[in-house]
């Protein structure tokens, strides 16, 4: 990231024009940045509005963050709300609040809240109980928690727990537990469907519509 200043702490309200580079940024108040941000650590318990993009090692949002560009980092943790106009690329992303993004790419994604997106691509995707996904989940191992609501799932190994509702599932192997609801289910190798599940359409296919590699 090049040479950086040490630490920036905001407890009031501030507007900044131009790009920022810091080791650590802490926002407990309100911050508006007309530019991009680079930092090792960004912690937002207040609110931050960034016109450009964010590059960081760690981003923690327990307040609200609005990003006009994209986010690139290692770890992203959202307990508040995060809105990103473009994409997020990270290693690990955990959301217990709400997030809006175009495309999200990572190794590990966990949701205990809500997400609105075009698509999430990850090796491992865990949607916890009563979470809501508006958009497409694409991954190798995907688990949809109890009573969650998901639009579309494409994965190698997919588990849909009790009471979950999924509009479309496409998988190599899929397990659908009791009282789960699936409108369309397409599978390659195997489909383990509990007799108490409500699956409207089932179809065996030769290949997935998306390359997972």
Q: Which residues contact 97 (CB under 8 A, 6 or more apart)?
A: 61, 78, 79, 80, 81, 82, 113
Instruction: Provide the whole-model pTM.
Output: 0.94
- Domain edges within the chain: 102-213
Of the candidates 74, 81, 119, 75, which has an alpha carbon nearest to the alpha carbon of residue 97? 81
Q: Count the residues in the chain.
A: 213
* Cα 68 to Cα 77, 105, 161, 175, distances in angstroms: 18, 17, 36, 39
Position 4 scores a pLDDT of: 60
Q: What is the CA radius of gyration of the chain?
A: 19
Report the pLDDT averaged over residues 27-49.
97
Tens of pLDDT, residue by residue over 78-131, are 999 999 999 999 999 999 999 999 999 999 999 999 999 999 999 999 999 999
Tell the residue number behind the tokens 């990850």, with chain if given. Answer: 122
């Amino acid at each position: 990231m090049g040479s950086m200043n040490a630490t920036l702490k905001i407890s009031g309200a501030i507007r900044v024009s131009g790009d920022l580079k810091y080791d650590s940024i802490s926002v407990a108040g309100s911050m508006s940045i007309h530019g991009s941000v680079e930092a090792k650590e960004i912690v937002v318990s207040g609110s931050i509005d960034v016109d450009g993009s964010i590059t960081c090692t760690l981003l923690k949002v327990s307040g609200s963050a609005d990003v006009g560009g994209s986010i690139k980092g290692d770890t992203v943790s959202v307990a508040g709300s995060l809105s990103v106009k473009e994409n997020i690329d990270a290693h690990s992303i955990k959301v217990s609040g709400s997030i809006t993004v175009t495309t999200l790419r990572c190794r590990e994604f966990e949701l205990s809240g809500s997400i609105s997106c075009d698509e999430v691509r990850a090796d491992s995707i865990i949607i916890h109980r009563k979470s809501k996904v508006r958009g497409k989940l694409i991954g190798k191992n995907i688990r949809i928690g109890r009573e969650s609501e998901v639009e579309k799932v494409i994965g190698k190994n997919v588990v849909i727990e009790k009471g979950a509702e999924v509009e479309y599932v496409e998988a190599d192997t899929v397990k659908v537990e009791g009282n789960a609801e699936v409108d369309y289910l397409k599978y390659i190798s195997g489909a383990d469907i509990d007799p108490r599940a409500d699956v409207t359409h089932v179809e065996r296919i030769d290949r997935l519509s998306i390359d997972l590699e």
